[in-house]
């Protein structure tokens, strides 16, 4: 398989669909952030047991990497939350109560 090119047979037998709805995406990103936190904690546990300078350097790099990735993930979660609030806001010039009766004409 060529790098970056997926064959038709591989796509047809993919048991894990990768499409997420907008409501599932923040939960998925939260799980990703938690996985990064576990990775960082596991690296710290290795540093407690092994007092080698190479191990300590690697642990510091892993912790920096996971921290940066987690921050980027939380930025994406914040963007999604802001977009959800914007979508839920009534259009300009329309009162919030008008949305519940929009399109209904009595009498």
Cα 51 from Cα 58, distance rounded (Å): 12
Angle at 68 (CA atoms; ends 62, 70), nearest 5 degrees = 100
Is the distance from CB of 51 to CB of 42 less than 8 angstroms? no
Q: Where are the domains of the chain?
A: 22-83
Look up residue 52 and give its DSSP letter.
-
Q: Is 14 left (phi over 0), alpha (psi -120 to 50) or beta?
A: beta
Digitized pLDDT (tens) for each residue of the chain, 107 residues in all: 455 555 555 556 667 767 888 888 999 999 999 999 999 999 999 899 888 899 999 999 999 999 999 999 999 999 999 998 888 877 666 655 554 444 433 33
pTM comes to: 0.63
Is the distance from CB of 58 to CB of 40 less than 8 angstroms? no
CA 32 to chain centre: 6
């Amino acid at each position: 398989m060529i790098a970056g090119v997926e064959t038709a047979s591989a796509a047809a037998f993919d048991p894990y669909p990768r499409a997420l709805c907008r409501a599932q995406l923040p939960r998925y990103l939260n799980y990703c952030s938690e996985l990064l936190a576990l990775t960082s904690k596991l690296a710290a546990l290795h540093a407690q047991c092994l007092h080698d300078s190479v191990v300590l350097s690697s642990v510091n790099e892993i912790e920096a990497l996971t921290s940066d990735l987690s921050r980027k993930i939380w930025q994406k979660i914040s963007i999604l939350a802001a977009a959800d609030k914007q979508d839920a806001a009534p259009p300009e010039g329309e009162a919030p109560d008008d949305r519940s009766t929009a399109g209904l004409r009595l009498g």
